[in-house]
Amino acid sequence: MGIERDASGLTLFCLPYSGASATCYSPWKHKLPAWLSIRPLELPGRGMRMDEPLHTDMAALARLLADEIAVELDRPYALFGHSLGGLLAFELAHVLRERGLPQPLCLFASATAGPSRRDVSEYAREKTDAELIDRLRELGGTSEGVLANQELLELILPILRADFLLCGSFNHGQREPLDLSIHVFGGKRDTVKVEELLDWQEDTCTGFSLDMFEGHHFYLIDEQAQLLRQIRRYAEEHLSRWRNRAGRQPAQAAG
């Protein structure tokens, strides 16, 4: 029996990949049960926030996002991020911990190398249009029709350039592992290798899992149903544990 809809459902904050808007997660809202609420986070400079300046400092952006979601953390929640979004979700989790705010039940990191050993130096330099287009072709997920459309490129490339610099600004430093489970997903034909995905283990002291799907870097589009099935399974497990702990607290306090 699955978890039914009630006030103690789980909110899944979703962080977009490089060049994307929060709308990339909109289809998920209709493909998951009501108790699992999808809450895409729009980053400045795109979508409904197009008039805001783009960010190139990951720590600063994570602090901004923490400010924005702080009032929504009065119910169980988790973080999901694909590619750049996974790294940003990790940074956000640390900011929330530093501020003493309620912690996520878990972190979902998709198609992105573990933070502790990753080399972000290739992203620290501002890339030319040609380099950005080559990178889009390498990753897949962008049609040649889009790459040949100059008007679309004029919209996409500035965002992508800033997002690459955003990734290049990441600094792991000496961080204590997070006290929450990290569930990692990857595509079997992605340039991000299994060994890099396994590096996420170093940043959790609680629990870790790795699920691999058919496909390349954007497997989350072609293998969406399988990915959402796994997200739902893990989310349900964590929410059940949270409910069990919450149910024991009054008895412990009375004792």
Alpha-carbon distance values, 229 to 3, 177, 198 (Å): 14, 27, 21
- The residue type at 83: S
Beta-bridge partners for 81: 15, 109
Query: Which DSSP helix (H) or strand (E) runs through 151?
Result: helix 150-168
- 8 among known catalytic residues: no
- Joined tokens for residue 147: 């790459």
CA–CA gap between residue 196 and residue 28 (Å, rounded): 27
Catalytic residue among 18, 21, 83, 181: 83
Least Cα distance to 109 among 236, 227, 242, 239 occurs for 227
- Joined tokens for residue 53: 């300046």
Q: Is residue 209 exposed (0-12), middle (13-18) or buried (19+ Cβ within 10 Å)?
A: middle
- The residue type at 229: R
- Joined tokens for residue 134: 């080559």
CA–CA gap between residue 4 and residue 73 (Å, rounded): 20
Q: Please give the positions annotated as active site.
A: 83
